Structures are given as structure tokens and as C-alpha cells.
Chains A and B, each alone.
Chain A
């Protein structure tokens, strides 16, 4: 008899009450405990580190030292581990199940990438130590740049932007610098489709541009006639996402580029969805002048609850001289970072941030690229597109695809027409997916589709997992049809918390923990 079986055997009674109606005495939920804040758990004199005593010596800080209490709780190591492990169990994650957030691209994060990113020679090096002592790091940046340039068919890349939106800013600043250098500083308008990511207009406005929207055709693409009407010598650039946020390839992209260039403007491509075409289509062949690449999306660096990201920007011949510092150069003497706007980088528009960008993400992305290779990356795009079209095909009889004609790319877009009359909204439907064990899809985006539901399965989902997901959605869809409104209205039922009051949070913002009087510090 194994130890596990020692003790009284159990035989459950048939349950005579819904699990829903049962509550524990402590408010916990089985292994899922209510977890206090560190401010409620910790002690003001407690610490989880052993540091050598600081020798009480002289100070070079007369009159500058803090005499007030900071108000920071401390936890012992076991308390800290338990606190954060318990919190972690209240998160959905791609390692738990499919996470079909359209336009966010939640795919498997290989642990090999984490392992190599922690090699001391890559993680424990300072951005300002002598360049002679970091030749491998600069070589890695150069190799990553080579892969990005080759995959996009573009001649130059700026690695330093720290996220996709930061990359947009970088691209537009290069465009602006190019216009200014050519005496075209009067071009103050940026065109963007109505379906653009919100970051596009926000970025353009941040750069001092006026944003003018371009209309969309009935089949979800940029309206060429409207584009032509709005182009002119006041236009600095257009920003087009391709594949776009409706999950569709812009069929007329070459013509868009031609018209844009003929008007003397530059073509910025939002490359958030590059994973749909990597290895099969080079944006440089489409006439793109600048495009950011979200390394975390296409090249699988982990999202970490909202970051860090990394947003290198590839640039055309015309924009390359204006790329921000630092630049990587190499010659017989080895690799070198050009950190100031001088020499080869004389026309650089400035710098995006201190130091050289997201090295930790470069390592992960480069490891992912090497793992896939030219052949595998092409397969990535094919499987991403195949999976999305499979989901679309299997759901189209019950749900209403926003653009039923033709294939989609890496994401399948539905609207809420099929929910009409059921009393169930897109939000309700999404929350009900949580009860089935899946993270909801992207909701209400893109704005051009009513009640939008944007599903992106990505290439790292198996057919079996897709079928499990589709089967769950089909059951939910049938339940909505059948009028089971309560299942949706109060969803989620089975999450760590019920639906949260977001209105209250915004009306009465409570953005930090506040001590109850008397302050625990004073009491101790």
C-alpha cells in the first residue's frame, strides 16, 4: 500500500447543491486563497534578505538623508514566495491554454530563449563598459539586424525602440527628419485608415502631425479612391497595418505605396502582424519605407503581463541615414557602437532612449530565429494563417464572420450580428469563454466592425487544442441561441473573481494602498 492511500477511503455523496451556491467559511476557494496585499502581510521591521552590516562610518550626505519613514513592508523569503505563487495562480497564461487575443499574438514562449538570455555573458554586462569587452553582445545585435533586414528585404534597421508603439514613433521621426532634410517640413499630415491601431494616430499626434482618416472598403481594405483624394503635398506619410487589423492582407498595397511615393510621402507599415507573412512576403518588396517589428509577437519573446516589448524598425534606403543612434558598425577592428550623431550617423535624428535598447529581448528573438531558421519561419506564417482560417471555417455557420469572402490571414474577425436578439453581448460572450477555460478574444476591436470579436490562434496551437476551443465556442453559441442568457450575463462564474466593477474604479480612483490609522509603522 502506498503512503498516499493510507487513511480512510472516501466515497463522495451525490451533490445535492450547485457548486455555485456553496461558499467557504474563510472566503477561499479550495487551493485558491484570498491573498492580502504585501502591506497587510508584511512587517515594517521584517526583511527577506541577509545583508552584511553597513559599517556606521562617515557620510558624504550631511543634511540630505531621509528622516521620515518610507512605509515599505518587508516579507521573509517563505512569505514572499507563497504570496507571489498564490497571486500567480490567479492569472491566465499562454502556458495554461489557448489565449486567442487578436492583434496581440499570444504564442508559445520557448524556455530555451529564457535559458540563453540568462547566460552571464549576455545578462550581466553593462551598456557602458568598454566596447572591447562586449564584442559578443554587439555582434549579436549585428546578427539580429541581419536577420531582420533579410526577412523584411529592407536595407537598414534601428534596434533601440523599446516597444511596438515606440517603434512607430521611431519610424515617424525618421520620416519627419527626411522631410526636414529635403526642405519639406511643411508636410504636416499623416493618413491612417479608420481600422488603424490606436497607437498609430496617437504616435502621429505625438510627432506634431494632424491625423486624417482614410475610409475603408466594404471588404475591409483601404479605400484607394479616398486615399488618392486625401494625398497631396501636405501629407508626410501614411500608416497602414498590413496584414491589417481586420485580419486581411491589403491587396492593393503595392498601389498604395506607388500613390504615396508619387505624392512625395512615405509609407509607414505597422508591422504588428508580421507573423502572418514572415518568410513568405518581404515588406521591402511592397514599397514600405519604415516598419516596426514587435519582437514579442513575431519572435515569441514573453509578454510578461504587459511587457517588456521590443520594437526594432526596418528602414528603406531613403530613411536609413536618419536612423537614431546607437548604430552598429563593424570592420577589421571588430564591432563598434556609434552612440552619437557623428560620422556615419551624422544625420541620425537623435536617440530613442538611454543605452542600446532591449538586449534581453534581442537574445530571445535571435534564439527563436535560429531555432526556426529560414524554413521554419516560413512555416510559422503558413501555420498561423492555416489555424486562423480553420477557426473561421469551423465557426462561420454559427457566428458571423465580418468578412466572409476569401481567406483571412493570421486572425479571424467576427461581428455581433449573430447575437442579435439573444440578449447576449460581445462582452457577455467573451466573459463566458472564461468559464470554459479560455482567455477571451479581442473584443470591440477593430472599431470598424460592430461588436467585433477578433480571434488569433497563432501557429503554436495544435489541431486538437483548436478543436477543443472551437467545440467550446460552438456550445456557447448554441447556448446563446437557446436563450440561456443567465449563463452569459453573470459570467464568469468560475474565475477567481466575478465580474469587476470598472466604473467604480474610474469614478473613485484608488491607485495605492493607504494605511488605516494609526499607521502600522507608528504602532510597531
Chain B
């Protein structure tokens, strides 16, 4: 057994030191009814060769994004990740370390978290950021809970442009915590409806930009309306690359900015692990969930970093904690931070522009198809298309010909009556030939 170093002789010696006659004596506290003498009904151990073969078999039953034209977004995006990122995150000292509970021997992780927090605060235009949450959707749910703590009000207004699976995560947690949610009907451009839904009972308003239909919105007016009613504005972003081109949530008046950080440094991974970005105004920091890393000095006065303000956390405050979270997405945050450092301000702006141009080119090609209509008025790298057929059927048809065309909106929200709406995303990995082939196939499929 290659992962288990003890030999039979070691085991016998050790039992002797313990003073036990057999390993079973160490399990004496287990009730007899639950002691198993036989192994469970599963295969016996396998060597590297066999394990690799099995995982390769499973992987080959999937069509990876790199295999051809690929236009799927809706909360997760295919970007090119520099080779340096994966190399660094596989270094033993990052990969196999734990939560930095002993700061003197965890400065690597801690400095990275401090740099990550600084990058996220800059990107979102907010005062402070935490050291990451599980993903964008759970970060959004946590932001809603935080707004309840800050405002002591119990209603969350959710824009009709918020990703339906994010809404699902928010509603699940809100229901448990007794926060009422008012989810507005799906809408490509929802600004006025959101403002109309705000009242004095509103704890927070949750808007997404660019939203699930790709619509980019200046949320300044929504922020003003929310603040006038004593509510917080939570701005959600699922495509972090958009920060390189669009006004930041902070500049538009957000109180809390949350985002999915997968786009920078992290692969698609069929939905996880991802990295939740969470940033807020400084005055709310003690109500924030999750980990915070802070700067301090050591006994010699040298700069160092530690986890801080942990009196908010479950291991101290237990049932009074700001969240039950006891971890973060450390390694994914590291990947984000490395990629962000490699990009720098210049690289991020250029990457964002590239994404926008690819999406414009894709939209132009699709708009030329009779019967196909671009629905999104202002978009970054993703937009909604109306097709003259069931969008899910169109996607299956094109998949059979090698083009993964996007996400039918009905997959995210079956009952919304938008079965003819397709969400299409393009990134810097989209080739001009991909766009041409997509447009050609789509033209054929919708005839």
C-alpha cells in the first residue's frame, strides 16, 4: 500500500509499546453491533497504472472546452491561464499547507492572502476585501446575511438579472435564516423594476452586473435608491475579467461587492472549486464573513501577516459568529493572485478589451442570421440571443456538430418562459474561425 508507511513489524512493535494485543483492542469503544470484521463491498486497492486508466476512461467521455468552438458562460468562463500559475500552486509549500494558524511558519500563505485582499479591493473599488469565500454564489448569500446583521431588516430584493442558481443559493440560506426574499421576474434590463421594489423594510438590494443576460449596468441610481431607504446595495459580478473594462462596484456606490473569481487563474473544473470574492466598506468589516489577513510586526519589529479580527468567527463566537465558515478557497485565491500579478493593470485592461472585441464580433456574426436577434443592449463578453426555436434543442444540434453554442436560459430557470433565449459568451480563447463556424451552423439549425 504505497501511501501507508507502516510495515507489519512496525505495527507489532507499536502495539507492544501501547500495550495492546491487537489492533482490535484499540477499537474496543465501538459498540459490537457496529464493528465490521469484513471489508465493505468495494474493489480492492489499485496501482497507479489502473487508477490512471480509470480516470482517463471517464475523462474521455467528456468534451473539453479546448476541443473546438466553445461559447458557454453564465457564471463560469474559459480563459487562458498562464503556465506559471499551475506550476506555482503545485509547489508543496502552498499545495500541502493548512490554514495559517501559526503565522511564523505560514508567511507565504499569509502574504499571498494580504496581496489577494489588496488586489480584490482595488478591482472592486471597495475599502476592504476578505481572504476569499467558497464561490460567487455562496459569497452572495453571505452578503445578504451580512446586510441583515447591519441593517437589522429582513427583506432582500433580488434583481431579475441575477444568475438563477445564485438566487437559489441565496434563497436557501435566507429561508433558513428567516430573511424574506423578493425575487423580481427575469429581465434583461431591470434597473427601473429594482428601484420600484425597494421599500423601508428592505435590508439589501442585490443586482448583478454584467447580469446573467450579459447586460452591463451603471447601478449608481439603484445605489441612491437603496441608501435612501436605509438598505445596502450588493453588487454581484460573475465575470471578474469585466473589472478591467467596466466601472467598479465601489465607484457606483456598492456597499458590498461579491464576485466569482474563477475567471482569473482558475479552470472550469465542471463547477468547482472556484473562489468567491468578497469586499465591502470599511465600516462593515466586523460584520463580514470569512477570513481576514492583516499586517502586523514580529518581536523584532519586522513586517509580518496574521489572520485577524477572528472574534467574528465560529471558533470564538460559536453560535454568535458572523458565519459558520471555517475555511476559505486558499489555493484558488493564490491562483487568482498569481494570474492577476502576471496581468497587472495593463494586462487586465487588454484582456478585458480582447474579451469585449471577441463578443462584439460574435454578436455581429450571429445578428446577421435571419430570425436571430441579439437581446442584450450593453454587454461585456456575453449576451442573450433570441432564436426562432427551442434554444436547448439548438444547443444539442450544434453540439452534435462540434460547437458548444452556449447555455439555454431554460436550463437555469425552466419556468421563465424564455425557452427561445440562448446565452452566448466569448473570451480571448475564441478564434475567428470558431465564430464563423458557429454562425454557419446556427444559420442552418434555425432555418
Contact = CB atoms under 8 A, between A and B. Distances in A.
A440 B102 contact: yes
A374 B176 contact: no
Interface string B26-59: 1111110111100111111111101110111111
A450 interface: no
A393 B19 contact: yes
B211 to A, nearest CB: 13
Interface in A41-96: 42-49, 51-55, 57-66, 68-75, 77, 80-81, 83-85, 87-96
Interface string B343-381: 111111111011011001001000000000000011110
Contacts of A136: 57-62
B344 A124 contact: no
A448 to B, nearest CB: 13
Contact of B34 (A63, A151, A281): A281
B103 A87 contact: no
Contact of A124 (B97, B118, B267, B302): B267
A128 B273 CA distance: 15
Contacts of B113: 305
B146 interface: no
Contact of A354 (B78, B137, B291, B378): B137
B135 interface: yes
B342 A77 contact: yes
B4 interface: yes
Given A305-B330, A307-B332, A208 B378 contact: no
Nearest to B169: A353
A439 B102 contact: yes
B150 to A, nearest CB: 16
Given A72-B119, A505-B306, 17 more contacts: A70-B248, A93-B95, A121-B59, A123-B267, A123-B269, A136-B59, A162-B134, A198-B313, A206-B176, A304-B330, A306-B99, A354-B136, A355-B75, A358-B272, A385-B23, A386-B11, A502-B306
Interface stretch (A7-15, A163-171, A222-230, A415-423): A163-171
A90 B186 CA distance: 49
Interface residues of A, number: 210
B192 interface: no
Nearest to A308: B273
Nearest to A41: B341
29 contacts: A42-B341, A44-B346, A54-B354, A68-B251, A70-B345, A71-B345, A81-B87, A85-B88, A88-B88, A119-B55, A129-B72, A133-B63, A136-B62, A198-B316, A254-B33, A303-B96, A305-B106, A310-B273, A340-B414, A361-B273, A377-B40, A385-B27, A393-B19, A430-B102, A462-B5, A500-B299, A509-B308, A511-B117, A512-B117
Given A108-B3, A305-B334, A306-B327, A47 B342 contact: yes
A280 B40 CA distance: 8
A261 interface: no
A378 B136 CA distance: 37
Given A206-B324, A463-B6, A499-B298, A49 B347 contact: yes
B295 A351 contact: no
Given A128-B74, A169-B324, A135 B62 contact: yes
Interface stretch (A313-321, A472-480, A490-498): A490-498
B95 A165 contact: no
A129 B404 contact: yes
B14 A303 contact: no
A89 B112 CA distance: 12
B346 A74 contact: yes
Interface in A410-468: 430-431, 434, 439-440, 445, 459-463, 465
Contacts of A495: 104-105
Interface in A372-400: 372-380, 382-383, 385-387, 389-390, 392-394
Nearest to A300: B3
Contacts, number: 725
A73 B318 CA distance: 38
Given A75-B341, A90-B105, A355-B271, A165 B314 contact: yes
A66 B251 contact: yes
Given A47-B343, A495-B105, A500-B298, A367 B51 contact: yes
B297 interface: yes
Contacts of A163: 134, 325-327
A231 interface: no
Nearest to B260: A354
B30 A208 contact: no
A116 interface: yes
A310 B272 CA distance: 10
B216 to A, nearest CB: 5
A74 B343 contact: yes
A123 B262 CA distance: 13
B94 A91 contact: yes
B291 A434 contact: no
B4 A459 contact: yes
B107 to A, nearest CB: 4
A497 B304 contact: yes
B104 A496 contact: yes
A520 B157 CA distance: 40
B387 interface: no
A-B complex: 7 closest residue pairs judged by Cβ atoms = A74-B344, A304-B331, A136-B61, A121-B59, A355-B271, A350-B172, A127-B271
A86 B88 CA distance: 11
Contacts of A461: 5
Interface string B171-195: 1110111100000000000000000
Interface stretch (B120-128, B225-233, B433-441): B120-128
B3 A389 contact: no
Contacts of B25: 407
A260 B159 CA distance: 42
Nearest to A372: B45
A168 B396 CA distance: 37
A285 interface: yes
Interface in A328-346: 339-340, 342
B323 A351 contact: no
Contacts of A51: 347, 350-351, 354, 428
Contacts of B287: none
Nearest to B318: A201
A509 B294 contact: yes
A306 B97 CA distance: 8
A139 interface: yes
A179 interface: no
Contacts of B207: none
Nearest to B273: A308
Nearest to B19: A393
Contacts of B30: 249, 277, 280-281
A370 interface: yes
Given A101-B101, A498-B300, A61 B380 contact: yes
Interface in B275-334: 275, 285, 291-300, 302, 304-306, 308-311, 313-321, 323-332, 334
B298 to A, nearest CB: 4
Nearest to A110: B3
B31 A165 contact: no
Nearest to B168: A351
Nearest to B321: A202
B76 A286 contact: no
B291 A88 contact: no
A48 B341 contact: yes
B411 interface: yes
B114 A512 contact: yes
Contacts of B360: 57-60
B97 A92 contact: yes
A207 interface: yes
A312 interface: no
B203 interface: no
Given A354-B75, A461-B5, A509-B285, A106 B294 contact: no
B98 A106 contact: yes
A497 B4 contact: no
Interface string A106-127: 1011101011101111111111
